Structure 1
Amino acid sequence: MQDSSVATATTDSLDNPLLQGWTTPFETPPFQEIAPEHFLPAFEQAFADHAAEIAAITNDPSAPDFANTITALERSGRLLNRVAAVFYDLVSADSNPALLEIDTEVSQRMARHWNPIMMNAALFGRIALLYGLRAKLALSGEEKRLLERTYTRFHRSGAGLDDKAKARMAEINERLAELGTAFSHHLLGDEQDWTLQLGDNDVDGLSDSFVAAAKAAATERGLPGKAVVTLSRSSVEPFLKSSARRDLREKVFKAFTARGNNGNANDNNAVISEILRLREETAKLLGFQTFAEYRLEDSMAKTPQAVRGLLERVWKPARARALADRDALQELIAEEGGNFKLAAWDWRYYAEKLRQRRANFDDAAIKPYLSLDNMILAAFDTATKLFGVTFSERKDVPVWHPDVRVWEVKDANGAHKGLFYGDYYARPSKRSGAWMTSLRDQQKLDGAVAPLIINVCNFAKGSNGEPSLLSPDDARTLFHEFGHGLHGMLSDVFYPSLSGTAVFTDFVELPSQLYEHWQEQPQVLRQFATHYQTGEPLPDDLLKRFLAARKFNQGFATVEFVSSALIDLEFHTQPAAAIGDIAAFERRELEKIGMPEEISLRHRPTQFGHIFSGDHYASGYYSYMWSEVMDADAFGAFEEAGDIFDPQVAKRLHDDIYAAGGSRDPEAAYVAFRGRPPEPDALLRRRGLLDAPEAA
């Protein structure tokens, strides 16, 4: 049974597809019928419906019990969830000026709607009463977990504060919503406004597939017959790796790292400063000294000290390896007769040359074997072998852009499991990066509700009908996001709030990063890495060289990431008043940790959407590395079994990790799967950093 909740019919709702029942296949959103002007009336109705539902729960004269309070809360807000899911998918993946304007208003209205709910003293009183009695209530494990998470969510939102503090929290929440939206709009604006047009003399070193993608990007921007580099990472990274034009590499690198920091209408410096001040004030209202302490209390890590301990443990060998690689790159420049000092825009270019020398491998050699379509099939086949799920493409499901594809997912018995949407190509209307989200989450509260799961990427599109060819990093990204997707698709819980990826941030990356391991397995590559023109399989010699080169440049990659995670932590542990100028703070902190000047942060502050477009990863960017400790250790279970598709290990992985959603404590879930806590050195071993040279 699908979720077909619909608002009370009004005259307006009869003409608004967001307020009607959907007669599309699997009751999916009818995107072709939805226009920007439909959203504000739909949100108005959804807010009103939800407020009425909350009032009914709060004012229920019956004594609080699990059904009339916790379960009732789970049933509330369905129309709001439905409208918001469609809206935020479009804002992120296929925006336009009308949607972005609405987004600014909706972000404030959303905060204004949720504040009185999450700070409702009477409602919190009912929840707190049940929480206090939880040991005496006859609750299932999932029910107990839901009660605990509900109580924690309201408590951390300020429900227990006095009226004055609640009023200030409400003001802060509205302003933070406005600032987070402004940050993401500024970033998109800078990315849309800049391109580098390539002339015939500007393509030295660039592969045919890159030039084809650059031509497709130009056509997308109304420049047929031209070729452009954009500020999408999938355009910038390969250009910096392969362009022989040092002047153009510098130009592209500086534009990419200056996003949000150009002193124009899209500048994010003032936005960041205000966000940090307000987050600190929020933490203090709730009894914490810093936002990081507040944020990390409800995580696996628990404290800023634990996060810093992990990051510093990894930083030392990573920096030492990066410094050794830097010296080798400088020697390579000298060998070629260059009389310049290695700069940040040179690193990727000369690292590729060094990799060719040391491992006889470069990305351009393997890209013809990594077509997007084949990597999608590889991700699907891996899921089939591990979990028994199958995928069949559907052409009858409405989508928001012609490039979006949809597959029906079925379980091992052939029963419908959900839908998977893949939106893979970069375009001006899409924000940068890659992510997983959902249009509907799995749950069983009112019958079996099947999920609608989305993966969005920004791969370069081939031109003139040529396939999109992926770099190894792109292929890994595809598997990563599909791992998140499986977390949503395989979810098997009763309550919506515990569905799929509704877990701690430093646990949510485990299913995604673990899934990356299969992408680089010889067994998978031999089957799916075939030449896009000839169909020939990946030659064994090239496969061996690819596998040997995997750990190359890991010092650089780790430094790039860990420095960003440390900056995030410092932003949220130091007093906001002491941070001052954002660029000066960045320089100060990088000098403090000994950041090699030839390496830039993976995310400079003014473009760090993970932590400033919202607060989901604020003080939490470390989560990728925290999860990597687990994922590196977890894949060892398959290696120890001698089969990367071992049925018994795969069943535990399904039951304890992918299907469990947020219904279990994450540490308990991991131990149930692995039989023990993760081994910390697994991360350093995977990155090849256990034998790093001593730091200078």
Structure 2
Amino acid sequence: MNPLLQDFNTPPFSKISNKDYKPAIKKGIEIAKAEIDEIINNPEVPTFENTTVALDFTGEKLNKITSIFFNLNSAETNDEIQKIAQEVSPWLSEFSNDITLNEDLFKRVKSVFDSKETLDLTPEQTMLLEKQYKSFARNGANLKESDKVKLRKIDAQLSKLSLKFGENVLAETNAFELHLTNEEDLAGLPESVKEAAKEVATSKEKVGYIFTLDYPSYIPFLTYADNRELRKKMAIAAGKKAFQDNEFNNEKIVLEIVNLRHQRANLLGYKTHAHFVLEERMAETPEKVIEFSNNLLEKAKPAALKEFENLENFAKKLDGIDHLEKWDGSYYSEKLKKELFDLDQELLKPYFKLENVIDGVFEIANRLYDLKFEEVSNIDKYHEDVKTYNVTDTNGNFISVFYADFHPRKGKRNGAWMTSYKSQQIKNGINERPQVSIVCNFTKPTETKPSLLTFNEVTTLFHEFGHALHGMLANTTYNSLSGTSVSWDFVELPSQVLENWCFEKEALELFAKHYETGEVIPMKYVEKIKESASFHEGMQTLRQLSFGLLDMQWHGSESSQTITSIKEFENAAFENTKLYPDVAENCMSTAFSHIFQGGYSAGYYSYKWAEVLDADAFEYFLEEGIFNKEVATKFKDNVLSKGGTEKPMELYKRFRGKEPKPDALLRRAGLI
């Protein structure tokens, strides 16, 4: 019996073997097709219930199976799973096209859509109907037959290419290791970093220390290692991922993806991929995104240039370095930060034991949103590192299942993300609650120390947990509008706003306690964390904007079709935001997974866009108190629980009472 085809509440991870996936996905597609046929063959006149709602509830079995499969392909993959992903992805894009390009189905959807003025729908029902109609129209339902065939071909190619892109990046990440046996080469590195590197070496049956391109190994090395040549070696290795003359090179794949996206947009009647994508975002057009980015750039660039000059002078004074290179940035920034604020990341780490930070974020969720988290051992998991929780409200009502997976390992991609195994929806009068997961890559505990987080890792945990709250607190009728199913440039608001609590004394005192003594983080450290929060904010802003503008160059300009050299194209895109000298061996685009594998194509700007929203939203909390129940309830009722049921700006204004302005962000960043 295939466990994926049985009825299950939470995923039966321990029962699933790789051979189960393909037959289960095949069967899931069959079941979903039968559900679609039932809608098409319904002899009754198309109505909101028998067409719009019925269509929203199709494919549940398939969604459950694919969410398990693709989540594991990111968090616990192997060669076999990657091979299956390459096989099933075209099936799924073909199936998706079978729906959106099905003329009989579209006729019914259009018939309901055309009569919407007479239907007396709620705002949520109207949103479902409009989104559904647009998902057909924007994905080729109005195309002539020969163009539909072209579209199917493009979509199948794109799904395979983005998978291959990600596999190449992961392979390159895993392929590199810096193996050191000379103690002198470790100068500057904190004990905890050395200990972790020693454990990696031991696990590979080698003596000495091994540093990898996994973030918990790579970032501390670049931040603390005194040996400039070794920093350079690490930085160049990271920067040339999938840009080397080997089987994992992504240059051709990037150009193919960009070309296919452009062709797809043109086929659907849009000027570029960015015009297609942004039509359904808060930003609306590429022109608006570029104007928004350039306005911020104008404010940030003078500050960034000044900060960079100060950093160069500091490095010159300290070590006689004439020109700062990319592998010097983190190292000298950390030293300068320490000098300016007397703040050392390593001094802070003992106050951020992972378990305490988890308890802290849970307590904050309790104070703001009345949530309780209970760790349980009766929920199946895919790896022993994963923690599982039941989430209830203070009245004991069940809210969500929550999974958390915190440490790096071989089959797990870098970075941090939130995902779900089941979305919330109300079906047959029952409010079906969600199953939400966060995946991070934090330093593992060692023999002598628990997992101690850097302050950046603390904010990362809060960020992903903010996304998780958006999923957990969902309370909508339709699953396609539930939780994080919102405009892409609105989705980062709940995650980014929660990061603000990491900087507040009242919140830090709940969880920032020394792992050995239990002493609460000293007030002077809290003040320094706050003071240093806007340290190098100009440079950080420039960096974020540079990624967003590169994304827009790839996807918002027609000239991207004529590119022969990715490197030259990229350098031109970075011209206005560049601080460090270029490194010939390195290329950003070939490992820019957000836009070539994740869903951020023509959407990377949304991090900055959401920062404007989050700074403005948090200013409201600061005015009334960071644990103010009234403001928290407004945020929960108008943002977190509402998903994509209304236009994001309407939801935001209902929470805040007015439209957001960038002033709060510029104030917080010290740029005005």
TM-score (ref. length: structure 2): 0.97
Q: What is the aligned counterpart of 1:298 among 263, 277, 280?
A: 280
Q: Is the 8 A contact 2:543 2:577 kept in 1?
A: no
Match of 1:261 in 2: 243
Counterpart residue identity of residue 333, structure 2: A
C-alpha distance 339-508 of structure 1, shift in aligned 2 (>3 A): closer
Structure 2 residue 607 is the aligned partner of structure 1 residue 624: yes
Structure 1 residue 243: Cα displacement: 0.9
Match of 1:531 in 2: 514
1:511-590 matched pairs, under 5 angstroms? 511-575=494-558, 576-590=560-574
Structure 2 residue 339 is the aligned partner of structure 1 residue 357: yes
1:410-429 matched pairs, under 5 angstroms? 410-429=392-411
Match of 1:18 in 2: 4
1:5-53: CA deviation from partner (whole Å, max 9, x where unpaired):
xxxxxxxxxx21101123xxxx211111111110001011001111111
Q: Is the 8 A contact 1:499 1:661 kept in 2?
A: yes
Structure 1 residue 226: Cα displacement: 4.1
Structure 2 residue 597 is the aligned partner of structure 1 residue 613: yes
1:104-183 matched pairs, under 5 angstroms? 104-183=86-165
Match of 2:216 in 1: 234
Counterpart residue identity of residue 533, structure 1: E
Q: Give me the whole-angstrom Cα distance separating, in 1, the residues matched to 2:172 and 2:187.
A: 27
Q: Is the 8 A contact 2:546 2:577 kept in 1?
A: no
SS of the equivalent of 2:441 reads strand
Q: Is the 8 A contact 1:180 1:612 kept in 2?
A: yes
Q: Give me the whole-angstrom Cα distance separating, in 1, the residues matched to 2:302 and 2:24.
A: 55
Q: Give me the whole-angstrom Cα distance separating, in 2, the residues matched to 1:337 and 1:651.
A: 53
Match of 1:83 in 2: 65
Match of 1:214 in 2: 197
Q: Give me the whole-angstrom Cα distance separating, in 1, the residues matched to 2:350 and 2:81.
A: 38
Q: Give me the whole-angstrom Cα distance separating, in 2, the residues matched to 1:35 and 1:465.
A: 35
Match of 2:348 in 1: 366
Q: Is the 8 A contact 1:556 1:599 kept in 2?
A: no
Match of 1:4 in 2: none
Q: Is the 8 A contact 2:503 2:526 kept in 1?
A: no
Q: Give me the whole-angstrom Cα distance separating, in 2, the residues matched to 1:443 and 1:219.
A: 48
1:354-374: CA deviation from partner (whole Å, max 9, x where unpaired):
111211112112111111111
Q: Is the 8 A contact 1:369 1:530 kept in 2?
A: yes
Counterpart residue identity of residue 522, structure 1: K
Structure 2 residue 467 is the aligned partner of structure 1 residue 481: no
Match of 1:202 in 2: 185
Match of 2:174 in 1: 192
Q: Give me the whole-angstrom Cα distance separating, in 2, the residues matched to 1:659 and 1:603.
A: 40
Q: Give me the whole-angstrom Cα distance separating, in 2, the residues matched to 1:125 and 1:226.
A: 67
1:372-421: CA deviation from partner (whole Å, max 9, x where unpaired):
11111111111000000100100111110100001110012111111110
Structure 1 residue 686: Cα displacement: 1.7
TM-score (ref. length: structure 1): 0.94
Q: Is the 8 A contact 1:347 1:599 kept in 2?
A: no
Q: Is the 8 A contact 1:217 1:461 kept in 2?
A: no
Match of 2:657 in 1: 675
1:213-362 matched pairs, under 5 angstroms? 213-219=196-202, 222-223=204-205, 226-362=208-344
Q: Is the 8 A contact 1:611 1:621 kept in 2?
A: yes
SS of the equivalent of 1:135 reads helix
Q: How many residues align?
A: 668
SS of the equivalent of 2:374 reads strand
Q: Is the 8 A contact 1:442 1:496 kept in 2?
A: yes
Deviates more, 1:552-561 or 1:398-407: 552-561
Q: Give me the whole-angstrom Cα distance separating, in 2, the residues matched to 1:524 and 1:56.
A: 53
Q: Is the 8 A contact 1:379 1:519 kept in 2?
A: no
Counterpart residue identity of residue 502, structure 1: S
Deviates more, 1:321-330 or 1:449-458: 321-330
Counterpart residue identity of residue 53, structure 2: T
Q: Is the 8 A contact 1:156 1:286 kept in 2?
A: yes
Q: Give me the whole-angstrom Cα distance separating, in 2, the residues matched to 1:224 and 1:369.
A: 32
SS of the equivalent of 2:164 reads helix
Q: Give me the whole-angstrom Cα distance separating, in 2, the residues matched to 1:52 and 1:218.
A: 53
Q: What is the aligned counterpart of 1:55 among 34, 37, 47?
A: 37
Counterpart residue identity of residue 462, structure 2: F
Q: Is the 8 A contact 1:212 1:462 kept in 2?
A: no
Structure 1 residue 56: Cα displacement: 1.6
SS of the equivalent of 1:419 reads strand
SS of the equivalent of 1:92 reads helix
1:467-478 matched pairs, under 5 angstroms? 467-478=450-461
SS of the equivalent of 2:403 reads strand
Q: Is the 8 A contact 2:297 2:542 kept in 1?
A: yes
Unaligned 5+ residue runs, structure 2?
A: none
Q: Give me the whole-angstrom Cα distance separating, in 2, the residues matched to 1:530 and 1:400.
A: 31
Q: Give me the whole-angstrom Cα distance separating, in 1, the residues matched to 2:80 and 2:94.
A: 22
CA RMSD of aligned residues (A): 1.6
C-alpha distance 599-384 of structure 1, shift in aligned 2 (>3 A): farther
